[in-house]
């Protein structure tokens, strides 16, 4: 299939090839999955057979355990495992028989296994159970087990089961190998199918890109170049017999038509452009000359008018400057005298401010010392208040002692009265003690009142001193602020004095300069008179130039 086949045919062939590859891949995967599923089914079947064999063995073990328990205890309740084992044995044998119905060798092994089980049940378990029903024959039943008849039968059963399971394990190994082989086949089949699909897809992509996409892209590029005016572009694929070849032939004809039309249009535009350029060049030169001349004439006229106005203004300004220079000269002389006076006063003010600053600094130091003394007084008064409080506590103690003494004197008086004549002297002493106690109580009460007054006065004094301390602190702060302000004022005053001195010098210089200004103003007046004459001549010449330009324009337009 070459370049002459149609695009539709190419697409159908590519799609059919990829579809065939997908079908082959799907069939390979389906077949491999079927093989794997069959192997899994047979593997599960084998595991079921082996599970049935394990159930048979477990049911026989349960029967043997139940029989031994019954032989040891003679308790029929211990036969329950044996009965359950018999039921489980029947179900397991039925399952094994059904699962191996297609395997003659396994069926033969199951028949031999069933015969061995019947021999054990008839000759061992059932016989022993029958003998255990009578106390006289129980030892005979136990002798059967002691003789090893049960072990012999069980060895036969285990041997047949081992042979049965061995055959199934051999089948399991065979099926595992088959499963591994089928999985390998699946892997290789899938890999081969995927590789083939990828290869076909890559080839199809390359084929479609080379046979369809690239020629179409080249055709689009050719059309874009033709649109941009590149008519020398080469067009490929015109010899192909498919749609790409037809498109190339159409582009070739289109390019030739566009090239011919473009050449004709360019020739026509070249001739027309040359004629228009000549006319436009002459018109541009004329217009440019006329414009420049008109602007120049207007500029002359405007400049002459502006010069005349400026000359008149300059003359008036010169006269006014001369008058003001004379006035300024007189004022400058008077200002120089006043500035000298101000400079002397500023020097005296600066000296006074320095003295005030010194006094304010001393006041601030005195206020600071007073504040420290007031704080010390506050501490002393607070100590006095504390001492008065302690004295009050002592007075209260004395009052308590006096009250106790009075009580003791009363008790002594009572005891003396009871003693009669013998206690009369003691009664007199008790009366004196009571009197002293009363006097002590009165004295301590008076002392307590005085101490209370002292404490009140002390508290008032502490508050007053605290206010004094705060007031002195405010005074100290104000004094400090005043001192700072006075220092700043002193510096400012000194700066004023210095500036005033410089101003005095400046006014002297101004007086000299004003005289020069007056002379310059007179010279400016003379120059302005000359400038007004020149501006009049310039105005006349500008009018002549405007007329000449107008005549030239009219002549050019008429030509």
**What is the mean pLDDT of the segment spanning 393-419?**
73
**What is the mean pLDDT of the segment spanning 52-81?**
91
Looking at the fold, whether 178 and 322 belong to one and the same domain comes out as no
pLDDT bin (cut points 50, 70, 90) of residue 22 is confident
Over pLDDT 90: what percentage of the chain?
14
Looking at the fold, whether 20 and 148 belong to one and the same domain comes out as yes
Rounded distance between C-alpha atoms, residue 172 and residue 39, angstroms = 10
Rounded distance between C-alpha atoms, residue 176 and residue 39, angstroms = 8
> 132, 55, 123: which is closest to 90 by C-alpha?
55
pLDDT higher than 80, residue 531: no
pLDDT bin (cut points 50, 70, 90) of residue 511 is low
Domain boundary among 181, 212, 243: 212
Residue 405 sits in a domain of what CATH number? 1.10.287.2610
**What is the mean pLDDT of the segment spanning 311-334?**
63
Rounded distance between C-alpha atoms, residue 114 and residue 137, angstroms = 29
Looking at the fold, whether 453 and 550 belong to one and the same domain comes out as yes
Q: What is the DSSP string of 46-114?
A: HHHHHHHHHHHHHHHHHHHHHHHHHHHH--GGGGHHHHHHHHHHHHHHHHHHHHTTT-HHHHHHHHHHH
Q: Which residues form the domain of 101?
A: 7-212
233 located within any domain:
no
Q: Give the per-residue pLDDT at 492.
A: 61
208 close to 240: Cβ distance less than 8 angstroms? no
Higher-confidence residue: 478 or 20?
20
* Nearest 10 degrees: Cα torsion 545, 548, 549, 552: -160
Q: Render pLDDT for 70-127 as a digit per residue (tens, 0 to 9).
A: 988 888 888 999 999 999 999 999 999 999 999 999 999 999 999 999 999 998 989 9
Over pLDDT 70: what percentage of the chain?
64
Rounded distance between C-alpha atoms, residue 409 and residue 437, angstroms = 9
- Evaluate the CA torsion angle 152, 157, 160, 162 in order and state its sign: negative
35 located within any domain:
yes
32 located within any domain:
yes
Looking at the fold, whether 73 and 173 belong to one and the same domain comes out as yes
224 located within any domain:
no
Residue 39 sits in a domain of what CATH number? 1.20.120.1730
Q: Render pLDDT for 454-472 as a digit per residue (tens, 0 to 9).
A: 578 657 755 765 774 576 5
Report the domain count for the chain: 2
Looking at the fold, whether 374 and 509 belong to one and the same domain comes out as yes
Q: Give the per-residue pLDDT at 199.
A: 86
Helix (H, G, I), strand (E, B) or coil at 454: helix
Looking at the fold, whether 56 and 137 belong to one and the same domain comes out as yes
Q: Give the per-residue pLDDT at 356.
A: 44
192: left (phi over 0), alpha (psi -120 to 50) or beta: alpha
Looking at the fold, whether 344 and 201 belong to one and the same domain comes out as no
Higher-confidence residue: 274 or 527?
274
388 located within any domain:
yes
Domain boundary among 189, 212, 235: 212
Looking at the fold, whether 208 and 301 belong to one and the same domain comes out as no
Looking at the fold, whether 68 and 205 belong to one and the same domain comes out as yes
> 29, 353, 40, 340: which is closest to 197 by C-alpha?
29
In 112-220, beta strands by DSSP E = none
247 close to 219: Cβ distance less than 8 angstroms? yes
Most confident of 146-150, 154-158, 275-279, 430-434: 154-158
Which two tokens mark 2?
């070459």
Domain boundary among 196, 212, 228: 212
**What is the mean pLDDT of the segment spanning 357-381?**
65
pLDDT higher than 50, residue 409: yes
Rounded distance between C-alpha atoms, residue 68 and residue 200, angstroms = 75
Q: Give the per-residue pLDDT at 556.
A: 60
526 close to 519: Cβ distance less than 8 angstroms? no
217 located within any domain:
no
229 located within any domain:
no
Q: Which residues contact 373 (CB under 8 A, 6 or more apart)?
A: none
265 located within any domain:
no
Rounded distance between C-alpha atoms, residue 2 and residue 18, angstroms = 19
* Residue 39: CB atoms within 10 Å: 19
Q: Render pLDDT for 205-256 as a digit per residue (tens, 0 to 9).
A: 777 777 777 777 776 777 787 777 776 777 876 777 677 777 777 777 877 7
> 362, 543, 350, 385: which is closest to 462 by C-alpha?
385
3-state DSSP helix/strand/coil % of the chain, to nearest 5 = 95, 0, 5
- Between 234-238, 367-371, 552-556, the lowest mean confidence (pLDDT) is in 367-371
Mean pLDDT, all residues of the chain: 74
Most confident of 306-310, 400-404, 514-518: 400-404
Using CA atoms, how far residue 139 sits from 7, 125, 298, 410, in Å, is: 103, 14, 160, 117
Q: Render pLDDT for 133-192 as a digit per residue (tens, 0 to 9).
A: 888 898 998 988 888 888 888 899 999 999 999 999 998 898 888 888 877 888 887 788
Looking at the fold, whether 186 and 295 belong to one and the same domain comes out as no
DSSP state of 233: -
**What is the mean pLDDT of the segment spanning 257-278?**
77
Q: Which residues contact 355 (CB under 8 A, 6 or more apart)?
A: none
Q: Give the per-residue pLDDT at 482.
A: 44
């Amino acid at each position: 299939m070459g370049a002459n086949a149609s695009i539709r045919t190419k697409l159908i062939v590519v799609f059919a090839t990829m579809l065939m590859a997908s079908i082959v891949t799907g069939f390979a995967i389906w077949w491999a999955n079927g093989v794997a599923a069959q192997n899994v089914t047979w593997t599960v079947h084998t595991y079921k057979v082996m599970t049935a064999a394990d159930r048979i063995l477990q049911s026989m073990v349960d029967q043997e355990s139940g029989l031994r328990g019954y032989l040891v205890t003679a308790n029929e309740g211990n036969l329950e495992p044996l009965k359950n084992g018999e039921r489980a044995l029947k179900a397991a044998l039925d399952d094994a028989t059904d699962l191996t119905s297609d395997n003659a060798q396994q069926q033969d092994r199951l028949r031999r296994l069933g015969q061995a089980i019947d021999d054990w049940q008839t000759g061992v378990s059932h016989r022993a159970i029958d003998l255990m029903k009578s106390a006289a024959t129980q030892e005979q039943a136990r002798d059967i087990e002691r003789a090893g008849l049960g072990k012999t039968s069980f060895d036969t059963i285990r041997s047949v089961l081992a042979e049965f399971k061995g055959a199934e394990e051999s089948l399991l190994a065979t099926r595992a190998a088959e499963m591994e082989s089928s999985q390998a086949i699946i892997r290789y089949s899938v890999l081969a199918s995927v590789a083939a699909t990828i290869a076909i897809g890559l080839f199809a992509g390359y084929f479609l890109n080379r046979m369809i996409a690239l020629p179409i892209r080249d055709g689009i590029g050719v059309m874009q170049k033709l649109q941009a005016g590149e008519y020398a572009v080469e067009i490929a694929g015109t010899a192909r017999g498919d749609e790409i070849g037809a498109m190339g032939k159409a582009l070739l004809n289109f390019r030739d038509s566009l090239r011919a039309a473009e050449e004709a249009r360019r020739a026509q535009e070249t001739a027309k452009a040359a004629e228009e350029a000549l006319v436009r060049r002459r018109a541009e030169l004329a217009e440019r000359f006329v414009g420049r001349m008109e602007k120049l004439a207007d500029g002359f006229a405007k400049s002459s008018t502006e010069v005349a106005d400026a000359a008149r203004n300059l003359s008036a300004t010169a006269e006014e400057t001369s008058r003001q220079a004379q006035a300024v000269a007189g004022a400058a002389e008077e200002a120089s005298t006043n500035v000298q006076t101000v400079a002397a006063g500023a020097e005296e003010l600066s000296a006074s401010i320095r003295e005030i600053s010194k006094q304010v600094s001393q006041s601030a130091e005195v206020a600071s010392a007073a504040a420290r003394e007031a704080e010390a007084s506050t501490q002393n008064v607070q100590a006095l208040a504390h001492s008065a409080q302690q004295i009050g506590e002592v007075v209260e103690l004395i009052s308590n002692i006096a009250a106790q003494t009075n009580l003791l004197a009363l008790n002594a008086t009572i005891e003396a009265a009871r003693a009669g004549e013998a206690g009369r002297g003691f009664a007199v002493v008790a009366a004196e003690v009571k009197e002293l106690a009363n006097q002590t109580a009165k004295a301590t009460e008076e002392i307590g009142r005085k101490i209370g007054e002292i404490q009140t006065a002390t508290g008032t004094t502490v508050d007053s001193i605290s206010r004094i301390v705060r007031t002195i602190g405010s005074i100290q702060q104000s004094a400090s602020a005043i001192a700072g302000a006075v220092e700043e004022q002193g510096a400012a005053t000194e700066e004023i004095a210095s500036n005033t001195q410089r101003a005095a010098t400046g006014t002297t210089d101004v007086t000299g300069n004003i005289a020069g200004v007056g002379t310059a103003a007179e010279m400016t007046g003379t120059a302005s008179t000359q400038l007004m004459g020149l501006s009049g001549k310039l105005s006349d010449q500008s009018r002549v130039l405007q007329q000449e330009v107008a005549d030239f324009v009219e002549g050019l337009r008429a030509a």
